[in-house]
Structure formats: C-alpha cells, structure tokens
Amino acid sequence: MNGKENNTNPEVTVEPKDEVQPQEQPKQDEGKEQKTFTREELASAISAQLNQAREEFKKTLADEVAKAREDGEKRAKMSADERAEADRKALEEKLAQQRADIEARERKLNTRDALAAAGLHIPSEDVDLFVQKDIDTTHRMIDRFKDLVQTEVQNQIHQRTATKETPKIGANPTKTISPTKSFDQMSYEEKRQLFQEDPAAYQALKDKSVN
C-alpha cells in the first residue's frame, strides 16, 4: 500500500446513441405519379389500335372470301336441279327467320297492349317478361300477375289498418297523396310509388278507374 487509494471501479465511457426518430408512414398517394402522355405516345397508341382493327377486318374478310369461294366451288359441281334445290332451301330459311322476327315483334306489341288494358303500365324493357308462346297464355299470365298485385295491395291496407302504424318522427300524419292523374294515365313507376307511400289511395284511385 503506498497510501494512495486505488479506484477499484474502472471508468466506463458511455457513447451517446443517436436518437431514433419515428419514421413517418408514407401516404398512400405519395410515390404515385400521374401518368401523362405525350402527343407521340397518344399517336402511337391510336395507331396500334387502328392496326389491330385493320388486321381483324382483314381476317374477317379473308374468312368471308374463303367461304364464298368454297360455296362457289360446291355450287359449280352441282347440277342445275341441285342448284335450284339449294336456292329454294336458302330462301325458305331466310323467309322463316323473317317470319319469326315479325311474330316476335307482334307478340311483344300485343303483350304491351294487353298489359295496358289490364291497367298495368310496365316499362318497355320489362314487357318481354310477359311474352308467351301465344296470346291466350300471355293473357293468363297477365291476369295472374294482376291478381297478385291486387292481393298485395289489399294485404298492405289490412296490415296498416290493423296495426295502426305510428307515423315516423317528423312525418305529417295527416298528409295524403292526391294524384293529379287518373289511374290509367299514371306510369308503372308512379303507380308503384303511390302503392308504397299510400296503398289506400292507390286502391281508391284504381277502383275509381274501374267504375
């Protein structure tokens, strides 16, 4: 011992650590650049589409020419009677298709008139739902649909009358709908809206149109 007090704890040097800053999450829109096109790029894209359409047209034309050539070769090998028979069959098929198209249009028009006569103003795009193979079947379907509509109206009226539905908050319980049109003049959408908002007024207006 030399009289000097020894330091038994060695000096420890602590290096300061860099403070870790929380990384901000990149926004979803960041890093997304809106694609812009130059005139040259637009012209190139349009040209590519035109070339594709041109190639498709060439292929279709080539197929039609090949079919016409094949039909011509077959026809050249036919006798006069065979050619006449082939022409007759082709004409019959064409006329049959025309008749089918005309009959389909007539059935749709007749169905639309039958719906209107029954007081059902169905949108034109929905008339096809009622078109059947003949007018009698169509009328039966329309009558059944009309009965279902009337039954639903009666059920709604009875249900509201029995439960005495409480008006919603903010609603005017004395408010009634007064249609300015007759029942026959109303469109299908107007009838549907009136039925949903006031079934009693719907039924009353409908009964009035019958009388």
**Helix locations, the chain, DSSP H:** 39-77, 80-117, 135-163, 188-197, 199-210
Q: Is 119 left (phi over 0), alpha (psi -120 to 50) or beta?
A: left
Q: Which of 117-121, 169-173, 206-210 has the highest mean pLDDT?
A: 117-121
Tell me: pLDDT of 13 over 80.
Answer: no
Whole-prediction pTM value? 0.37
Domain limits of the chain?
78-169+178-210
pLDDT of amino acid 177: 53
Per-residue model confidence (pLDDT) at position 93:
93
pLDDT > 90: percent of the chain = 8
Instruction: Say if residue 97's pLDDT is above 90.
Output: yes
Q: 93-131: buried (b, 16+ CB within 10 Å) or exposed (e) per residue?
A: eeeeeeeeeeeeeebeeebbebbeeebbbbeeeebeebb
- What pLDDT shows up at residue 125? 82
Mean of the per-residue pLDDT values for the chain?
A: 76
Per-residue pLDDT band for 157 (boundaries 50, 70, 90) equals: confident
Q: Under a CB-based contact definition with an 8 Å cutoff, are residues 198 and 171 in contact?
A: no
